[in-house]
Amino acid sequence: MLLLYLISQVVTQINGGEVMITNLPETAEIEACTPVDTPLVCNEYDRIIAYYCDLYCIDPALVKVLIEKESEFNPNAVSRSGAIGLMQLMPETAEMLGVKDPYNPWDNIEGGVKFLRTLFDMFDGDLELTLAAYHAGPGLVKRLNRVPPIPETVEYVDYIISRYTPAQRTSYLKLTFTEEGVPLITNRPK
């Protein structure tokens, strides 16, 4: 399918009646950030969020809502329980994820997005359970197999789900290579 897209031709009429033949569909000029009903759209961390969300196949819109809830986009935030940085990683979790500096936005966002990917995989893509595990810990959510009846966790999950609008993109495809060097197109990170 990808090959078909790359070799297909699109005929577009441009200004003055000229015709352009290309393998790329016509696109309107878009701004760096698309306006939506949230103040989370454009900020200094968009590039970092987009990079790691693409790498780990996570929706950037979800990560933005999560960061807003966790730290209000403050890279120096520290919670009462000791969670650190933009995505409020617990020190043990940060260490487990290989985060060198949890106050560094690049390190913190990579660790948080990587952790989200792990949780999504652990809970078979269930958003509520993934968010509950991000907040209350995966062990408790796995034991109960539901959102724990902790008021703070229930409020956290409700808050994020009520503000999260999934991106239009429903599947992510990555080209990777197996250990034997065989090309593989997948929707899962390596």
Q: What confidence tens digit (pLDDT) does each residue in 99-124 have?
A: 999 999 999 999 999 999 999 999 99
What pTM was estimated for this model as a whole?
0.68
Residue among 70, 92, 179, 180 flagged as catalytic: 70
Active site residue 44: no
Q: Give the per-residue pLDDT at 112.
A: 97
Quick check: 71 pLDDT over 70? yes
pLDDT of residue 28 exceeding 60: no
- Residue in the structure block whose two tokens are 């994820």: 97
What is the pLDDT, as a whole number, of residue 87?
A: 97
Q: What's the CA dihedral at 90, 93, 97, 98 to 10 degrees?
A: 60
Q: CA 117 → CA 58, 129, 156, distances in Å?
A: 7, 13, 18
Q: Using CA of residue 100, residue 104, residue 110, residue 115, what is the dihedral sign?
A: positive
Per-residue pLDDT band for 37 (boundaries 50, 70, 90) equals very low
Q: Phi and psi at residue 74, in whole multiples of 5°?
A: -100, 110
User: Poorest-confidence range of 49-58, 152-161, 179-188?
Assistant: 179-188
Look at the block and give the residue holding tokens 């730290």: 71
